[in-house]
Structure 1
Amino acid sequence: MKVCFVQKQMFPYFGVMAISGQLKKHGLETDIVIDVCEKDTISALKKAKPDLIAFSVLSSEHGWLRQLSAELKRQMPAIPIAVGGVHSILYPEEILTLSGVDYVCCGEGESSFAELVDCIAQKKSAAGIPGIFYKEGGNLMMQDVAPITQELDSFFEDRHLYYGKYPELGNLALKVFMSSRGCPFLCSFCANSYIMQIFKGRGKYIRRKSPQHFVEEIKRVVAEYPTTSLFFADDLFAMDVRWLETFNPLYKKEVNLPYICTARVDVITERHVRFLSESGCHAVSFGVETGNESLRREILKKNISNKRIFEGVGIIKKAGIKVQTSNMFCLPDETVDDAVSTIDLNIAIGTNYMFTTVFLPFPKTALAQYCMDKGLLKKDYSFDDMPNSFIQDSVLSLDNKEVLLNIHKVAHLCVRFPRTKPFLIYIAKKVKCKQLFLLFWLFGTFIRFREERQLSLWKTTCYLWEYRRGL
């Protein structure tokens, strides 16, 4: 039995790696096809000769899923198609109604998906498998959500699935890992607040690998693939100070590579930062989101003051660690002055690497409803209206929308080179040329990638050349 995973974007998905690792433990064969890396995705899938095609999809890719799954069903009608990922947890019914989709995995699929593969191999119904929604006689059969995977030390993620098929991923000098699943906070712009409710009462939501297992996982990758630095991309890596206390000496002894990690600026303490610094952390990433405190607190439900951001950054910088921030533009109710204040706040706190996106509301969420009530979104807003990326455009009907988008494109350059800010903001307000501001964004992204990931000019160029396909 062979399962071929399909995704659009060019980076390893943790859910896919985890499930592939579990399937291989059961003696099954897995493969991967990345849409942006293939000249013809359908031909690549035909060449793979799978017994099951398994999509992993982001919500912004719903249109891509609909079109590709329908065409696959037309050209490969005997091959069942399943869909998983965060999108399938949030919108299982919307996915299952698609003509090309046979199964939806709603929940963490380490156990349920292996059961589904076994049922398909034996030509049995998926009835009774928690988290597997399916079609039967033209009806949508909705079952209970899949159980939460409690023991993250029970498997290793299958990175060879990606690195063996697409060596350019394995050759990237920076490798990404996750030590935990789940986040305790309920920011309105994040899927976590909705997933937490779906999983309520189904087991411990915030789970973590043991420091020993996590370090062993890193060692296995570093021993086989070229690696000069790491990114720990947990929702909140610097969360449990006791876990860090155990991780610190073990990582320093066994791995000892520089890394970037995630944190929340109102939670981090001097003790957290001391352990991070001692183990080789060179940058901490956290969300600023916007320079406007009211927008951050009232609209985004992220209850962090600007004062607390300054205090947290002070703790981080005192230890000699750099700062990466996440920021959004084109927020509901955002003005041009608000957008500029986001840049000003980042300059004031000494942000080293400013990551920016364009705000994108997801259908049937409280934020999408807020935008519709304010007349910023059309009443029948759906997945068909969502752009393919969080970079290029906004779906909201905003005053000065073009100026806000221009400010987004020049934001990192303003922060990295503060003396350029007056000029860049001036032309952002006065000049109408999307191509020009896309070039500004590409230049700023090139600088940020090279510096935060500690890459050479050549490796940065190669990475961004591939990354462009997903824009």
Structure 2
Amino acid sequence: MSKILFLQNSARELEGLMSISSYISRNGHQSKMLIEGYGNLETTLETYRPDVVGLHVLTKDHDWAKEKCKEIKKLSPGTVTLLGGAHPTHYPRIGLEEGVDGICIGEGEKMTRYILDSIENNEDWKDSNSLYYAQNGVLVKNSLDSWLSAEEIPIPDRSLYRGVEGIRDNADLQIMSSRGCPYTCNFCGNWGIKNLFGSTRVRLKSPENVIKEIKDAKERGKIDTIHFQDDMFGLQEQWLNDFSKMYKAEIENPFYVLLRCDSVTEKLIYTLKDMGCYEVGIGIESGNERIRNEILGKRLKTETILKAAEILKKSGMRFHTFSMFGLPEETLENSFETIDLNIKIQPTVAYTQMFHPYPGTKFFTAETEPHIIGANFDLFSHNFPYTEDTPRIQRLQKLAMMAVEFPSVRPFLQGMIELPLEEGQFEEVAKEFWEKIYHKRLKNKNKHLEN
């Protein structure tokens, strides 16, 4: 038996780590979770004595992961340090950093089990598939392993987070009924996955296994609502029909899903509502069709977005939108188009964020990196590319949710983003409006669920 300690820099349950924990347990290996800022790393290393510490790393965690690996090596020199997650997969040079023994490329179940098996048997673990590691200052890249089939994907080990300091009891169950997405939009890490593996390969878990997974979670604690985190829920009609019957008969909890606008039909929304779906999320990304399709590769016409919104509103289904500001080639005028499209379709809430060219997207490659990381952009601190319009677009993004919620504000936006306020003052004003909208949305959601 070998032991792995998972270390992450956010206090939330991650299905990928729970899946790895479940997968390695089949060979008798043990796992434990530690949340940065809560448990004590030195004490945990001394008492648990893991063979491997696996760090989950997002791009924002780049510097944190580097420092943690050095700290682990100082406290426990013989412990293997592995990095996994989207960032190491798409930015593998982090594997050259001091204290990093290896990085996982893509899914981690097979690689982690192989390494733990090898350690248990006193064998070399560095020949594992999907592993990159540093040797004499050069990154050695082993062959990439095949993905797990739908049947091989285990039921996540939710006990991994039970009783872990920093994790609050949450009555909203986060779950995935599939892995992968058939689309490769330029702004998504799926674009990088296709370039690495040759395809994105969608795998739908069987309806029976998804129901079993939900029941397993409900046995462990109170569940009020279920959030399906699939990139796109219900991709196959027959799968959805089968799952719908089982869900209504055995689960009944209200749930939330993500959809593409071009998948929204009256039949689909009726089926989801009949099952108990209370809200869906749709991505419109930009109000400008050229930017949305030619730059972002979304392949989604504005008329399709309008039609989807019409169907959702007609059905009485709550829905929210996702949009980005500060996109490549976007002007301030284009940013206003994004607000105007959201106002036109009137979602329950309009979520927005500033664009960030993460590794793994078409906007961050070996060719574009020198132009992205410059004096005005720090990849690892969540800044974004800077143009002449950026300061005003940033301000507009902070006001977007308010403008969609209260369209009467729209004529005043231009003047508001020109206000002679320091950024801290402007953010405080925007934050106050946002909090009012958030609490209103939460109140409306609870009222909707009660009905």
Common fold, TM-score beyond 0.5?
A: yes
Partner of 2:267: 271
Within the candidate set 427, 434, 441, 1:438 is matched to 427
Judging changes above 3 Å, is the alpha-carbon distance between structure 1 residues 449 and 183 closer, same or farther for their aligned structure 2 residues?
A: farther
SS of 1:238's equivalent in the other structure is coil
SS of 2:249's equivalent in the other structure is helix
Partner of 1:396: 385
Judging changes above 3 Å, is the alpha-carbon distance between structure 1 residues 190 and 363 closer, same or farther for their aligned structure 2 residues?
A: closer
**Aligned-partner Cα distance in 2 for 1:263–1:280:** 16
**Aligned-partner Cα distance in 2 for 1:270–1:18:** 35
Q: Is 1:253 matched up with 2:254? A: no
**Aligned-partner Cα distance in 2 for 1:65–1:141:** 20
Structure 1 window deviating more from structure 2 (188-197 vs 268-277): it is: 268-277
Judging changes above 3 Å, is the alpha-carbon distance between structure 1 residues 438 and 6 closer, same or farther for their aligned structure 2 residues?
A: farther
**Aligned-partner Cα distance in 1 for 2:419–2:98:** 47
Task: State the one-letter code of the partner of 2:372.
Answer: L
1:45 Cα deviation from its structure 2 partner: 4.8
1:332–1:376: 8 Å Cα contact kept in structure 2?
no
**Aligned-partner Cα distance in 2 for 1:102–1:369:** 24
1:229 Cα deviation from its structure 2 partner: 1.0
Partner of 2:231: 235
Q: Any residues of structure 2 matched to 1:114-153 within 5 Å, and which?
A: 114-135=113-134, 140-152=139-151
Partner of 1:68: 68
**Aligned-partner Cα distance in 1 for 2:443–2:48:** 34
Partner of 1:386: 379
Judging changes above 3 Å, is the alpha-carbon distance between structure 1 residues 398 and 149 closer, same or farther for their aligned structure 2 residues?
A: same
Within the candidate set 188, 198, 202, 1:200 is matched to 198
Judging changes above 3 Å, is the alpha-carbon distance between structure 1 residues 68 and 272 closer, same or farther for their aligned structure 2 residues?
A: same
SS of 2:261's equivalent in the other structure is coil
**Aligned-partner Cα distance in 2 for 1:355–1:430:** 23
**Aligned-partner Cα distance in 2 for 1:173–1:234:** 19
Partner of 1:300: 296
1:6–1:33: 8 Å Cα contact kept in structure 2?
yes
Structure 1 window deviating more from structure 2 (241-250 vs 37-46): it is: 37-46
**Aligned-partner Cα distance in 1 for 2:167–2:100:** 30
Partner of 2:34: 33
1:244–1:272: 8 Å Cα contact kept in structure 2?
no
Judging changes above 3 Å, is the alpha-carbon distance between structure 1 residues 307 and 206 closer, same or farther for their aligned structure 2 residues?
A: same
Partner of 2:57: 57
1:239–1:268: 8 Å Cα contact kept in structure 2?
no
1:109 Cα deviation from its structure 2 partner: 1.8
**Aligned-partner Cα distance in 1 for 2:213–2:439:** 25
Structure 1 window deviating more from structure 2 (362-371 vs 46-55): it is: 362-371
Q: Any residues of structure 2 matched to 1:350-369 within 5 Å, and which?
A: 350-363=346-359, 366-368=362-364
Q: Any residues of structure 2 matched to 1:281-430 within 5 Å, and which?
A: 281-363=277-359, 366-368=362-364, 377-378=372-373, 385-389=378-382, 394-423=383-412, 426-430=415-419
Judging changes above 3 Å, is the alpha-carbon distance between structure 1 residues 151 and 238 closer, same or farther for their aligned structure 2 residues?
A: closer
**Aligned-partner Cα distance in 2 for 1:387–1:17:** 26
Structure 1 window deviating more from structure 2 (408-417 vs 152-161): it is: 152-161
Judging changes above 3 Å, is the alpha-carbon distance between structure 1 residues 376 and 82 closer, same or farther for their aligned structure 2 residues?
A: closer
SS of 2:330's equivalent in the other structure is coil
**Aligned-partner Cα distance in 2 for 1:311–1:62:** 41
Task: State the one-letter code of the partner of 1:406.
Answer: R
Within the candidate set 175, 178, 188, 2:176 is matched to 178
Runs of 4+ in 1 over 4 A off after TM superposition: 39-48, 135-139, 369-373, 378-382, 452-457
Judging changes above 3 Å, is the alpha-carbon distance between structure 1 residues 39 and 415 closer, same or farther for their aligned structure 2 residues?
A: farther
Partner of 1:188: 186
Judging changes above 3 Å, is the alpha-carbon distance between structure 1 residues 421 and 177 closer, same or farther for their aligned structure 2 residues?
A: same
Stretches of structure 1 that go unaligned for 5 or more consecutive residues are 458-471
Q: Is 1:451 matched up with 2:441? A: yes
Task: State the one-letter code of the partner of 1:18.
Answer: S
**Aligned-partner Cα distance in 1 for 2:159–2:94:** 29
**Aligned-partner Cα distance in 1 for 2:320–2:367:** 29
1:320 Cα deviation from its structure 2 partner: 1.5
Judging changes above 3 Å, is the alpha-carbon distance between structure 1 residues 294 and 427 closer, same or farther for their aligned structure 2 residues?
A: same
Q: Any residues of structure 2 matched to 1:154-173 within 5 Å, and which?
A: 154-166=153-165, 168-169=167-168, 171-173=169-171
Judging changes above 3 Å, is the alpha-carbon distance between structure 1 residues 335 and 47 closer, same or farther for their aligned structure 2 residues?
A: farther
**Aligned-partner Cα distance in 2 for 1:316–1:39:** 44
**Aligned-partner Cα distance in 2 for 1:381–1:423:** 29
Q: Is 1:9 matched up with 2:7? A: no
1:288 Cα deviation from its structure 2 partner: 0.8
1:97 Cα deviation from its structure 2 partner: 0.6
**Aligned-partner Cα distance in 2 for 1:5–1:453:** 36
Task: State the one-letter code of the partner of 1:77.
Answer: P
Task: State the one-letter code of the partner of 1:24.
Answer: S
1:296 Cα deviation from its structure 2 partner: 0.7
SS of 1:347's equivalent in the other structure is helix
1:206 Cα deviation from its structure 2 partner: 0.6
SS of 1:89's equivalent in the other structure is helix
Structure 1 window deviating more from structure 2 (300-309 vs 312-321): it is: 312-321
Partner of 2:87: 87
**Aligned-partner Cα distance in 1 for 2:290–2:358:** 21
Residue-by-residue CA offset, 1:97-147 (whole Å, 9 max, x unaligned): 111111212121212210111112333212442112234566543210122
1:16 Cα deviation from its structure 2 partner: 0.6
Stretches of structure 2 that go unaligned for 5 or more consecutive residues are none
1:428 Cα deviation from its structure 2 partner: 2.4
1:448 Cα deviation from its structure 2 partner: 3.7
Judging changes above 3 Å, is the alpha-carbon distance between structure 1 residues 328 and 376 closer, same or farther for their aligned structure 2 residues?
A: farther
**Aligned-partner Cα distance in 2 for 1:197–1:408:** 32
Judging changes above 3 Å, is the alpha-carbon distance between structure 1 residues 416 and 7 closer, same or farther for their aligned structure 2 residues?
A: same
1:300 Cα deviation from its structure 2 partner: 0.6
2:133–2:141: 8 Å Cα contact kept in structure 1?
yes
1:108–1:147: 8 Å Cα contact kept in structure 2?
no
**Aligned-partner Cα distance in 2 for 1:153–1:256:** 27
Partner of 1:468: none
Task: State the one-letter code of the partner of 1:86.
Answer: A
1:370 Cα deviation from its structure 2 partner: 11
1:259–1:282: 8 Å Cα contact kept in structure 2?
yes
Judging changes above 3 Å, is the alpha-carbon distance between structure 1 residues 9 and 376 closer, same or farther for their aligned structure 2 residues?
A: same
1:4–1:53: 8 Å Cα contact kept in structure 2?
yes
Give the fraction of aligned pairs with identical amino acids, expressed as a percent.
29
**Aligned-partner Cα distance in 1 for 2:186–2:129:** 28
1:354–1:448: 8 Å Cα contact kept in structure 2?
no
1:245 Cα deviation from its structure 2 partner: 0.8
